[in-house]
Structure 1
Amino acid sequence: MRVDAQRTPHRDAHVSTGLIDSINRRTQLAGYNRLALLLFRLGGPELFGINVFKVQEVVQAPELTWVPAAHSHVRGVAPVRGRMIPVLDLAAAVQTTPPASEPRYLIVSEFNRRVQGFLVHGVERIVNVDVGQVTPPPASAGDDGYLTAVTRLKDRLIQIIDVEKVLADVIGLAVDLETLPPHTTDERRRKWRVLVADDSKVARMQIARTLEQLDLEPVLVNDGREALRFLQSQADADGDNDLLMVISDVEMPDMDGYTLTTEIRRDPRLENLYVLLHTSLSGVFNHSMVEQVGADRFVPKFNSDELARNIIERLRNKELELTEAAMV
């Protein structure tokens, strides 16, 4: 991540070169139930957060080029480092009351392999929070809200935005599968289930539709803690195990995907369970963490065909294992 220190006013000293340089040290804590957030404001006193590893840079709001027929929340496009990116008014996308002032900064971010900019009114600083202190949004936020979680920094509430939902509503995220090769050559032995852990409702629905198109049954939970409880209850029941695999997001409230994977590997009853981490976070750091915690595969969000191919590979291998075991 980069913040343009030369273009950022000195009064916003919290966003400084030294602070951004410290991000490498902060990454050493990530993956161990720590979450690094970039804090910002949307025209009011409320603090909002976005995962810092999804942020490429923060600059002053640029001049925009209007795009005909674009969504009302897309203010235009702007050149950023030689590429034109769509620019969304984040306050307009998540709030009903428009702020009195104009946005001053552009957060350039990459989600689901797309780069876009979010206009915000003020950038505060980067903080590291304990994922155990990150909780789902209150029920009053409703299912259609744009919050994925909340936490507190001393006495201040931080609202973490469900960026996948914002992008799905404004830009749209395709989930249709291309023509895929048959995923099994034999008659299906059983209706396989797949446990999906993701705090974003949009992401859960995307993955569920992909699984259903593959004739698999999705079991959906909101975070790693819920996933671990489900897995432990299944292990305690000691019944017929139709669970093919776990697909887990990385950044989730209460328990993140790295910690979930670690807990799965620590439990002798679950240690051989196939775990695919599926996240909009990307980069060398995440691949390293996948190896450290013992996940089987890492697939960046969101390409339904790539996800489906990885699921099909797992399904083929599982059915081959069952065939070989039956022949012994």
Structure 2
Amino acid sequence: MSRAVARLVAYAEGRSIALAPHTTHEILESPRPTWVPGAAAHALGLLPWRGRRIPLIDVAALVQGGMTDRADACRYALVVAWQEAGEAALSYGALALHALPQMTEVSDVQLCPLPGDSGLWPRLALSCFSHEGQAVPVVDTARLFSATSAGTAR
């Protein structure tokens, strides 16, 4: 039986995604993004981070196809990274969070089908596992940000 560690990120009440721990870099408290006119409905804006401006997105608004509530500022931002190609520089973005992510150990016996609540899961997820009675998609950060119109500012 194979085991792996995953970072659980709650994106809505009772709903989470999982990320590979190596893709997560830093948690920021009380992020203050700059709103970008004309940005996608799930985009909260550009977040200053280490001399860059990186896109901050609301995963719930992305997968549920709704608008993000800009008045309800997120409590945290999780900075994530991905690489477009083998030799390319890392790209960065951030996920809006209302609670801190958790670590969990996952085994292949927890494999389950993707949730049926969004047509985006097949494009975003590498796999899915069951955790505490819910299906948790394992999301590829590159796919998550390429599926958005929030941009990939570096």
TM-score by length of 2: 0.71
Map 1:91-170 to 2 at 5 A: 91-96=60-65, 102-112=73-83, 113-137=90-114, 140=116, 144-145=120-121, 146-153=124-131, 155-160=132-137, 161-170=139-148
Hey, what's the Cα distance between the residues in 2 that align with 1:143 and 1:70?
A: 21
SS at match of 1:78: strand
Matching of residue 54 in structure 1 with residue 23 in structure 2: yes
Correspondence 1:219-258 to 2 at 5 A: none
Structure with greater contact order relative to length (CA < 8 Å, sep ≥ 6):
2
C-alpha contact 2:44 2:68 (8 A) present in aligned 1:
no
For the residues of structure 2 that align with 1:68 and 1:142, how far apart are their CA atoms?
A: 26
- Quickly say closer, same or farther: Cα 1:42–1:68, change in 2 above 3 A: same
Paired AA for residue 88 in structure 1: I
In 2: Cα distance, 1:36 partner to 1:171 partner: 30
What secondary structure sits across from 1:170 in the alignment? Answer: coil
CA change 1:124–1:168 in 2 (3 A) is closer
Higher CA-based Rg: 1
Runs of at least 5 residues in structure 2 that lack an aligned partner in the other structure: 84-89
1:172 and 1:117, CA in 2 relative to 1: closer, same or farther beyond 3 A?
Answer: closer
More helix by share: 1
**How many pairs align?**
140
Alpha-carbon spacing, 1:96–1:70, altered in 2? closer, same or farther (3 Å): closer
Counterpart of 1:40 in structure 2 is 9
What stretches of structure 1 of length at least 5 have no aligned partner?
1-31, 174-328
User: Which residue identity lines up with residue 42 of structure 2 in the other structure?
Assistant: H
Identity of aligned residues (%): 22
Offset of 1:96 from its aligned partner?
Answer: 4.0
Q: Tell me how far apart the structure 2 counterparts of residues 41 and 56 of structure 1 sit (CA, whole Å).
A: 17
**Residue 93 of structure 1: how far off its partner (Å):** 0.8
Secondary structure of residue in 1 paired with 2:74: coil
Shift of the alpha carbon at 1:122? Answer: 1.6
Alpha-carbon distance in structure 1 between the residues aligned to 2:32 and 2:118 = 35
| Partner Cα separation in structure 2 for residue 156 and residue 147 of structure 1 | 18
Q: CA deviation at 1:46?
A: 2.2
TM-score by length of 1: 0.37
Which string of whole-angstrom CA distances, capped at 9 and with x for unpartnered residues, describes residues 264-295 of structure 1? xxxxxxxxxxxxxxxxxxxxxxxxxxxxxxxx
Matches of 2:41 and 2:65, distance apart in 1:
13
Checking the alignment, whether the CA contact within 8 Å between 2:63 and 2:118 is kept in structure 1 is: no
